Chain A
Amino acid sequence: MSHIGKFSPQAAGVTIARDWTRSIGNTGLWVILAALLLWSWGPADMGRWSYLFTDAGNMTRYASGFARPNFEQWRYYLEEMLVTIQIALWGTFLAVLLAVPFGILSARNMAPWYIVQPVRRLMDLFRAIHEMVFAVLFVVAVGLGPFAGVMALFIHTTGIFAKLFSEAVEAIDPRPVEAIRATGASRLQEVVFGVIPQVMPLWLSFTLYRFESNVRSATVLGLIGAGGIGQVLFESIRGFYYPEASAMLIIVIATVTLTDLLSQQLRRLFI
């Protein structure tokens, strides 16, 4: 474990004393990690690893169902894919709208603790609950369909954005803000002219990245009936229509790749 042995202290004319506290500390950390992994082996059902090889035939048979994608209804799939993107678009947009004020109010350098703390806890709540869970709640409230998906993405993403946005705000250079305060500007004007221009590139990056993730999430939301390509995809998987499911998966992958390329271009344009 010790890397000291690799060097030759004699050549340098010095003897380096071995730092025993450090060595023991390092060994201890590795031992703890090994213990944790062993402890989790049984509960995680890791003993089944051998099935990966012995029963590989099952997988091949299953996967071969996906080998010949059936694009016969591609027009319909694209329409549903578009619905998924539209769900992600609205969910992300509403989240940004709400996260701008919440993000500023939960930044320690912008608001006093008695505002920061409650706002942060509320945002924790938004973030802690998975969009799937929100989607189930909203399906009950507003019925099956894309709107439940929009609301689920909106609430969860607001929590994430508020945290990311506020961290960007906490890292700004306070001096330009002071200069704007010194002109007699109001608090809101300090934010508009001093804070927002500084955090804009980061906020934009976060937004584009989250939009990508939300396209993926919106697909999964289809599983519980929140509309879009996901719903159709899971229905066809449950009905063993693998060639159709395969076609839809390819469309999803292409879309995610496209949004990634597009957001890269946008980022380059604005930053």
Chain B
Amino acid sequence: MSVISVRNLSKRFGKKQALDDVSLEIGQGEMVALIGASGSGKSTLIRHICGLETAQNGASAIEICGRAIQSDGRISRDARELRRDIGVIFQQFNLVNRLPVLTNVLVGNLGRIPRWRGTLGLFSAAEKREARDALARVGIREIAWQRASTLSGGQQQRAAIARTLVQRSRLLLADEPIASLDPSSARRVMEVLATINRENGITCVVSLHQVEYARRYCPRTIALRDGRVVFDGPSAALTNDFLTTLYGADSEELILPEAAPARPEDTQRGRPLIEARALVAA
């Protein structure tokens, strides 16, 4: 069964068609990269999947594990319940700056524990231990009591990942998680995501700006251009030449000129490559 199923999704912001009849299926345990130039609809797609944005009117559906989170431009009644299963991390980390890191991570519990306890912020010792373990797993155990605003970008993003670990989501959506990070922090964050995907079997969808990271960490890539899916298949098939044919001049934005080509053992990380299903011509 597919974890994410999107059918005929369209969204218009003013005059701009942000998403144009997008349909896709993502299966259990996959690690999928979502690439495209800025404004191609990556973030919009992710925000629709987690139900932070609603589709425009018309027959469309987004299902998480077979249950609709929104259909025909309406958020479903179950959305709050479904969001528990969807961990989201954002380009700007979206931690609450004035709260300590540990509290930011404990917030991941809110969807799972009794409502009154969450509202009063009464987290149990076991939950606190779990939050500390999550911090240790992403490699920032020692800064649990620091305010989130005092962390570096890479640390903040790892704290945000720890929050989704505590949430015990089955699906992790990452919206440009490394776009505001320096290269070494970016690699650490991608490593953490790949490890979670491999060890916990959590399905990961990561939107990326640069195709090198897709080739290195994600077996499958979905490429968007002007709100349409223009490629859905193995990342290894995305050669720089092919990107140029897909995006024309825009492809410069997606390729790091100085980066060495990805090593084959890296692209093989995790599970075998998924066969190309669709090569939609633009």
Instruction: Decide if A193 touches B99 in the complex (CB within 8 Å).
Output: yes
Q: How far is the CA of A19 from the CA of B95 in the complex (A)?
A: 50
Instruction: Decide if A178 touches B107 in the complex (CB within 8 Å).
Output: no
Q: How far is the CA of A200 from the CA of B112 in the complex (A)?
A: 26
A258 to chain B, nearest CB (A): 29
A201 to chain B, nearest CB (A): 8
| B119-162 interface code vs A (CB 8 A; 1 in, 0 out) | 10100000000000000000000000000000000000000100
Provide the residues of chain B in CB contact with A181, threshold 8 Å.
52, 83
Q: Is A179 an interface residue (CB 8 A)?
A: yes
Measured CB to CB, the nearest residue on chain A to B169 is A183
Residue among B84, B98, B109 with the highest chain A CB neighbour number at 10 A? B98
Provide the residues of chain B in CB contact with A185, threshold 8 Å.
107, 110-111, 118
Give the residues from 78 to 132 in chain B that come closer than 8 angstroms, CB to CB, to chain A. 80-84, 86-88, 90, 92, 94-99, 103, 107-112, 115, 118-119, 121
Q: Is B167 an interface residue (CB 8 A)?
A: yes
B: contact size bracket: 20 to 34
Residue among A179, A188, A192 with the highest chain B CB neighbour number at 10 A? A179
Q: How far is the CA of A118 from the CA of B242 in the complex (A)?
A: 58
Q: Is B50 an interface residue (CB 8 A)?
A: yes
Interface of A is mostly: helix
Q: Is A176 an interface residue (CB 8 A)?
A: yes
Provide the residues of chain A in CB contact with B118, threshold 8 Å.
185-186, 189
Q: Is A82 an interface residue (CB 8 A)?
A: no
Instruction: Decide if B107 touches A182 in the complex (CB within 8 Å).
Output: no
Q: Is B170 an interface residue (CB 8 A)?
A: no
Give the residues from 157 to 185 in chain A that come closer than 8 angstroms, CB to CB, to chain B. 175-176, 178-185
Instruction: Decide if B107 touches A200 in the complex (CB within 8 Å).
Output: no
Quick one: which of B86, B119, B167 contacts A192, CB cutoff 8 A? B119
Measured CB to CB, the nearest residue on chain B to A185 is B110
Q: Is A194 an interface residue (CB 8 A)?
A: yes
Instruction: Decide if A179 touches B88 in the complex (CB within 8 Å).
Output: yes
Quick one: which of B52, B86, B96, B119 contacts A189, CB cutoff 8 A? B119
Knowing A185-B118, A189-B110, the reply to whether A198 touches B83 (Cβ < 8 A) is no
Q: How far is the CA of A42 from the CA of B87 in the complex (A)?
A: 70
Measured CB to CB, the nearest residue on chain B to A175 is B94
B147 to chain A, nearest CB (A): 10
Quick one: which of B80, B81, B90, B98 contacts A179, CB cutoff 8 A? B90
A270 to chain B, nearest CB (A): 11
Knowing A179-B160, A183-B163, the reply to whether A193 touches B94 (Cβ < 8 A) is no
Instruction: Decide if B88 touches A176 in the complex (CB within 8 Å).
Output: no
Q: How far is the CA of A193 from the CA of B103 in the complex (A)?
A: 9
Provide the residues of chain A in CB contact with B80, threshold 8 Å.
184, 186
Provide the residues of chain A in CB contact with B163, threshold 8 Å.
179, 183
A: contact size bracket: 20 to 34
Instruction: Decide if A194 touches B96 in the complex (CB within 8 Å).
Output: yes
A192 to chain B, nearest CB (A): 6
Provide the residues of chain A in CB contact with B90, threshold 8 Å.
175, 178-179
A181 to chain B, nearest CB (A): 7
Provide the residues of chain A in CB contact with B119, threshold 8 Å.
186, 188-189, 192
Q: Is A197 an interface residue (CB 8 A)?
A: yes
Knowing A178-B52, A179-B88, the reply to whether A184 touches B94 (Cβ < 8 A) is no
Measured CB to CB, the nearest residue on chain B to A174 is B94
Instruction: Decide if A193 touches B110 in the complex (CB within 8 Å).
Output: yes
Provide the residues of chain B in CB contact with A183, threshold 8 Å.
83-84, 87, 107-111, 163, 167
Q: How far is the CA of A188 from the CA of B116 in the complex (A)?
A: 10
Provide the residues of chain A in CB contact with B97, threshold 8 Å.
176, 197-198
A133 to chain B, nearest CB (A): 38
Instruction: Decide if A182 touches B98 in the complex (CB within 8 Å).
Output: no
Q: How far is the CA of A176 from the CA of B83 in the complex (A)?
A: 15
Q: How far is the CA of A198 from the CA of B96 in the complex (A)?
A: 7
| B38-75 interface code vs A (CB 8 A; 1 in, 0 out) | 00000000000010100000000000000000000000
Residue among B80, B83, B88, B96 with the highest chain A CB neighbour number at 10 A? B96
Provide the residues of chain B in CB contact with A178, threshold 8 Å.
52, 90, 94
Measured CB to CB, the nearest residue on chain A to B80 is A184
Measured CB to CB, the nearest residue on chain A to B160 is A179
Q: How far is the CA of A186 from the CA of B83 in the complex (A)?
A: 11
Provide the residues of chain A in CB contact with B50, threshold 8 Å.
182
B94 to chain A, nearest CB (A): 4
A203 to chain B, nearest CB (A): 12
Residues of A within 8 A of B (CB): 175-176, 178-186, 188-189, 192-194, 197-198, 200-201
In the A-B complex, the 10 residue pairs with the smallest Cβ-Cβ separation, listed nearest first, are A184-B111, A184-B84, A179-B94, A185-B110, A184-B83, A182-B88, A175-B94, A197-B98, A176-B96, A176-B94
Can you list 9 A-B contacts (CB < 8 A)?
A178-B94, A179-B90, A179-B94, A179-B95, A183-B107, A184-B80, A184-B83, A184-B111, A193-B99
